[in-house]
Amino acid sequence: MVDSLGWRKLFAVVAPSTNTSVQPEFDDMRPRGVTNHFSRVWIPDDPVESDDDFNKLMENIRRELDSAVERVLTCHPDYLVMGMSSETFWGGLKTSLEMKKRMEEISGLRVAMGSDACQAALRCYGDIKRIAVITPYWPVGDKNVLQFFTDCGFEIVRLKGLKCKSPVQIAHVTEDELTDAIHEVDGDDVEAIVQVGTNLAMARLAGQAEKILKKPVLAINTATYWYALRDNGIDDVIDGFGSLLTDFRELPKNFAATPASAG
């Protein structure tokens, strides 16, 4: 017997309680027979006005993360998807690998994380090295994102941190503001643009920007959900979110040899 709605796969998705973007964006990309089951990491919507405040936000997430994973396991999911990004980049590649291993040990499942997904997605487009990044973070968060991509062999040419004023306020960044950020970080010296921060609703906009700029524009929610589907052998084409979900039916063959997949 299999689940009547999730007869292909049941995805357990863990996201902060303040996040209002990742759930609707994941559901928009969900193919028939796959279901998403959310568990919330309880955090307060405290103001964020400095690096110290951002570090406190990260501490709040870490305090509740394991419990949120354990709660969602009671629906007997097939796979775990981390619907958060800052923690998956924190500390660079080595710490990211350690986090993935810990999530696998807690859940007993394979795990998709935004850090792995962004690296795998970039490798789909050939020998990309020079990227630009958009984040909702404060400088301390941006520093960790820069460290992760540098550890993976990429050069961040430009990075735009939006310094959002609270966890909930991340979802209030408008499409116009995101469009301005894309143009601000773009240039002839940039081979691809990556957006991190799962509460920034940029999945559809990234697909549109990709057509205009004629280069990969990767939203982390798109990359993470693509990774989860392909890691489970689900190769459906999903229109409206860019070439990642239409042109790339499997994880890159060379990704298995990269450090970020060693977890």
Section 84-109 average pLDDT: 96
CATH code, domain carrying 35: 3.40.50.12500
d(CA 183, CA 122): 19
- Check pLDDT > 60 for residue 8: yes
Res 255: pLDDT: 63
Residue 1 has pLDDT above 90, yes or no: no
Give this prediction's pTM.
0.95
Rounded Cα distance between 148 and 260, Å, is 10
78 vs 258, residue with greater confidence: 78
- Range(s) of the domain holding residue 82: 1-250
Q: Tell me if 174 is assigned to some domain.
A: yes
Domain contains 261: no
Q: What is the mean pLDDT of residues 122-132?
A: 96
- 139 pLDDT exceeds 80? yes
pLDDT at 254: 63
Does residue 220 sit within a domain? yes
- Does any domain span residue 103? yes
State the average pLDDT for the chain. Answer: 95
In a domain, 262, yes or no: no
Q: Provide the pairing of β-strand 192-195 with 217-219.
A: parallel
Residue pLDDT, tens place only, 27-55: 999 999 999 999 999 999 999 999 999 99
Q: How many CA atoms lie within 13 A of 57 on its CB side?
A: 28
pLDDT at 110 over 90: yes
Residue 233 has a pLDDT of 97
What's the pLDDT at 167? Answer: 98
Please state the domain count of the chain.
Answer: 1
Does residue 257 carry a pLDDT above 50?
no
- Tell whether 259 is covered by a domain: no
Residue-wise pLDDT tens digits, 140-194? 999 999 999 999 999 999 999 999 999 999 999 999 999 999 999 999 999 999 9
Mean pLDDT of 94-122: 97
**Is 260 inside any structural domain?**
no
Q: Find the length of the chain.
A: 263
Q: Is residue 256 part of a domain?
A: no
* Structure confidence at residue 84 (pLDDT): 96
Determine the average pLDDT of the residues in 5-23: 98
Which range, of 47-61, 68-82, 242-256, averages the lowest pLDDT? 242-256
The average pLDDT across 224-246 equals 98
Question: What is the pLDDT, as a whole number, of residue 253?
Answer: 79
Which whole-number Å values give the CA distances from 66 to 41, 42, 74, 81, 234, in the listed order? 9, 11, 14, 13, 27
The percentage of the chain sitting over the pLDDT mark of 70, rounded to a whole number, equals: 96
Work out the percent of the chain whose per-residue pLDDT is above 90: 95
Give CA 42 to chain center in angstroms.
19
Question: How many other CB atoms sit within 10 Å of the CB of residue 148?
Answer: 26
